A and B are shown apart, each in its own frame.
Chain A
Amino acid sequence: MQYISAAAIPLMIFGIVAFGMSRGIKTFECFIDGAKDGLETSVRILPSLIALLVAITMFRASGALEMLTSLISPLLSVISFPKELAPLALMRPISGSASLALVRDLLTQHGADSFLGRCASVMMGSTETTFYTLAVYFGCVNMKDTRYTVKAALLADLCGMIASVYVVRLMLG
């Protein structure tokens, strides 16, 4: 299992580069071209990352985060969902940069190898910025009524958040 996880990336890179070469693609030039896109994205998200990481770090330092999580913890303990992950679960569907900042915060606070760090990573990797996606997709066609879309998407997100905790507990301990 560990081996598949570790081998997935090298195998994928091998497959893509070999496939590209077999098709006569200028692999190096393509790579450089694509890497520029990555550079652009990084620069583009920096301002919002600064704004949100400042807000989240302040929120934790002020003691407000602690108060909020202990307020909702009785509710979460019913489904044995760690209260430290509640802010991330709430923020994930709303803002990608904010959840990125929260995961980073959880990883530095508890460590990437901790149970919480692993749960946060899986939650981040297996869900999307639901509201942003819906706004972009329905916005481009001027839809007035999106019917059951938000309900279905948020239900799926909720299941994903809870499943993350259980799957990490089961597979990584």
Chain B
Amino acid sequence: MINYIWGGLMTVSIAAAFLFGRVEEVANAAMQGATEAVTLSLSLLGVMCLWTGIMKIAQHAGVIALFSKLLRPLTRFLFPRLPRDSEALDAIVMNMVANIFGMANAATPLGLKAMKELSRISKSQVASHEMCMFAVINTASLQLIPSTVIALRQGASNPYEIIIPVWIVSVITLAVAVTAAKLFALKE
């Protein structure tokens, strides 16, 4: 899909440039965009490393195991049909904690493990309700500190002011995602 989007953006831009007589602006924009991308990734680099560094400490100190206990009760509501001592539920909880702390490097392998465990339980090529619920939760962002956005906002008078709005919207998104998944599951 991204191939069509990118190709479309490029060709439509150049066609529109000739149509609207903005050829020179578009030619400059191409170079400006390329330069901007390097500046952008350099300006993100420091904060990104700061955050992955801090999160590595959290990971080694056992934060995932610690907070997994706290999130356990919630997973009983989300996945009522999974056995409480199943490996799938362990991986699901740990994946959610890793996401909350923004440990993307840890969250994805845990999520894939959870998916594999769930498919082992369901033994079918049609996704089980648990798999759908777990995937939907992962598409809602749970991150406590939106570090990339904060890094993008360097230069704002208060780069951090968006944190609480982000939490509120994340909770709304997650609530809609979970409710929708539960309702669609009932309907089937």
Partner-contacting stretch, out of A54-62, A69-77, A78-86: A54-62
The answer to whether A59 touches B58, judged by C-beta atoms less than 8 angstroms apart, is no
A-B contact pairs, 29 of them (CB 8 A): A4-B163, A5-B158, A6-B160, A16-B55, A19-B58, A34-B52, A37-B52, A38-B51, A50-B33, A56-B9, A57-B29, A58-B14, A58-B26, A59-B13, A94-B1, A94-B5, A101-B40, A122-B165, A124-B148, A126-B165, A128-B139, A140-B115, A141-B119, A149-B131, A152-B136, A152-B181, A153-B177, A155-B177, A157-B139
* Ranked 7 nearest A-B pairs via Cβ: A34-B56, A125-B146, A112-B156, A57-B33, A148-B184, A61-B29, A38-B52
B51: chain A residues at CB < 8 Å are 38
B111 to chain A: closest residue by CB: A137
* B78 CB-CB contact with A under 8 Å: no
Shortest B15–chain A CB gap in Å is 8
Contact A130 B139 (CB under 8 A): yes
A121 touches B152 (CB 8 A): yes
Given contacts A63-B17, A156-B139, 4 further A-B contacts (CB under 8 A): A58-B29, A103-B152, A143-B131, A171-B165
Residue in A58, A122, A148 with the greatest tally of chain B CB atoms within 10 Å? A58
A4 closest partner in B (C-beta) = B164
Interface residues on A, range: 35 or more
Residue of B nearest to A90 (CB): B5
Q: Interface 1/0s, chain B 135-171, versus A by CB < 8 A?
A: 1101111011110111011011111111111111110
A34 touches B163 (CB 8 A): no
Known contacts A32-B53, A125-B162, A126-B141: A103-B41 contact under CB 8 Å:
no
Residue among A41, A143, A156, A160 with the highest chain B CB neighbour number at 10 A: A156
- The answer to whether B168 and A167 touch across the interface, beta carbons within 8 angstroms, is yes
Which residues from A are CB-within-8-Å of B126?
Answer: 143-145, 147
Decide: A20 near B152, CB < 8 A? Known: A4-B164, A94-B1, A147-B132. Answer: no
